[in-house]
Amino acid sequence: MKICKVSQLKGGEVLARAVLTESYQVLLGEGTRLQPEYINKLQQLGIEEVFVETEDAEKIEILREETETQFKEKVREILEHHTYSHNQELEQLAETADHLISSILKEEELVEQVYDIRERSSDLYEHSISICTLAVLTALKLKMNREMVHDIGVACLLHDLGLRYLTIQYANQPIEELSKDARNEFMKHPVYAYSALKKEKWISDDVKNMILYHHEQMDGSGYPLHARMLTLESRVLNLCEAFDEMICGIGCKRRKVYEAIEELKKYRGIRYDGRILDAFLEFTAVYPAGSFVLTNEGETALIICQNKQSPDRPVLRIVKDKEGNSLTKEVIKDLLVFTDVFIEKAVEK
């Protein structure tokens, strides 16, 4: 399923989730095929977005699907034409980063929403675009200036250039489990990227350093240099890089979004800057809409939407009671209202 603006509906779409009123009454049920009169009514009621069925997996993204695809293909085209000694094409990535930043900035509400980040494959180009959007949003939350945001965007699109020089397999595989030689080779990829770009005049020294240090950590546990003194821009990139690597499985086992977030929280103030983590969590849903969770009351619930004020306190639809019995009536719990209810863990449907 995907989220779709009501103004873009043509009629005939099938609702993937029920449309609820502000009091959580069902207006149109899940599975309803939308007719023109239904669409008109939704617009009259001020409902701007609905979930509709598609053949794709869950996609609630920061960038519109067609926009992300456009950027991904541009990055793919540029990087696949690049060789170690020919960098002319790479300069286009600076322009691509600015276009991507502009795509976020031109829709002011993007900075104020909470996003359901989806787990993905370890596609290098999608990974670069994903990190760029996450890092740009984080930088905007931190009110960093446009030059810093630009540099972060460029660094994100170029940071894993060194992976293209590797022949070892690293997808969905912890680097600790690689052979010593393979592990050492993998850990050199920031150096390969830096070496390929260090003489370029069209990117700043800050960008080059972000690329070299994108796997370093505040406690010195990163690689390849075990650096500790990292700029704010580097710390933004590093946190977003670590998160996205976990959910798509680059140099590690793929994890669920909530598992990746818990890992970031575990190393708050140790590997990851706490202020940056707070800014990141402002727009990242811990439990994406459509996922199932177990509450502290023993009930199984479906996440139906996020609360912008509290990404870790979504709105739930209870589907099973604490005895495991399916409910015959709809029970909605907004965790900003039911303050004594907490999510214990994610569960399978």
Work out the angle at residue 245's Cα, subtended by the Cα atoms of residues 145 and 285, and round it to the nearest 5 degrees.
Answer: 70
Q: How are strands ordered across the β-sheet holding 292-295?
A: 326-334, 310-320, 300-307, 292-295, 343-347
* pLDDT single digits (tens) 183-210: 999 999 999 999 999 988 999 999 999 9
To the nearest 10°, report the CA torsion of 224, 228, 231, 235. 70
Say if pTM beats, i.e. exceeds, 0.85.
Answer: no
Q: What is the pLDDT of residue 300?
A: 95
Q: What is the pLDDT of residue 110?
A: 54
Q: How far apart are CA 34 and CA 32, in angstroms?
A: 6
* pLDDT single digits (tens) 241-281: 999 999 988 888 888 888 899 999 999 999 999 999 999 99
Q: What is the pLDDT of residue 323?
A: 93
Question: How far apart, in Å, are the Cα atoms of 227 and each of 26, 206, 220?
Answer: 54, 15, 5
- The answer to whether 341 touches 333, Cβ cutoff 8 Å, is yes
Helix, strand, or coil (residue 9): coil
Q: What is the pLDDT of residue 56?
A: 35
Q: What is the pLDDT of residue 320?
A: 92
Containing H/E element for 72? helix 65-81
Q: What is the pLDDT of residue 239?
A: 98
Q: What is the pLDDT of residue 60?
A: 46
Q: Please identify every stretch of the chain with a pLDDT value under 50, giving residue numbers as ranges.
A: 55-60
Question: How far apart, in Å, are the Cα atoms of 132 and each of 25, 250, 289?
Answer: 38, 16, 23
List domains and CATH numbers for the chain.
Answer: 2-52 (3.90.105.10), 65-281 (1.10.3210.10), 292-347 (no CATH)
CA-nearest of 324, 244, 198 to 252 is 244
Q: What are the backbone dihedrals phi and psi of residue 107, each rounded to the nearest 5 degrees, phi first?
A: -115, 90
Q: What are the backbone dihedrals phi and psi of residue 12, each rounded to the nearest 5 degrees, phi first?
A: 95, -15
- The answer to whether 19 touches 28, Cβ cutoff 8 Å, is yes
- The answer to whether 291 touches 300, Cβ cutoff 8 Å, is no
CA-nearest of 344, 290, 337, 304 to 20 is 304
Q: State which amino acid sits at residue 176.
A: E
Q: State which amino acid sits at residue 233.
A: E
Q: What is the pLDDT of residue 57?
A: 31
- Rounded to the nearest angstrom, the gap between the alpha carbon of residue 235 and the centroid of all alpha carbons in its chain is 17
Q: Which residue has the tokens 């989730």?
A: 17
Pull the structure tokens for residue 92: 């286009």
Q: What is the pLDDT of residue 77?
A: 86
Strands (E), the chain: 2-5, 19-20, 26-28, 49-52, 292-295, 300-307, 310-320, 326-334, 343-347
Question: 298: how many CB neighbours lie within 10 A of its CB?
Answer: 12
CA-nearest of 144, 53, 153 to 103 is 153
Question: How far apart, in Å, are the Cα atoms of 305 and each of 35, 132, 308?
Answer: 24, 25, 10
Q: How far apart are CA 168 and CA 185, in angstroms?
A: 8
Q: What is the pLDDT of residue 114?
A: 62
Q: What is the pLDDT of residue 17?
A: 72
Q: State which amino acid sits at residue 256.
A: K
DSSP bridge partners of 331: 318
Helix, strand, or coil (residue 28): strand
Looking at residue 268, what DSSP letter applies?
B
Q: What is the pLDDT of residue 283?
A: 86
3-state secondary structure 103-124: HHHCCHHHHHCCECCCCCCCCH
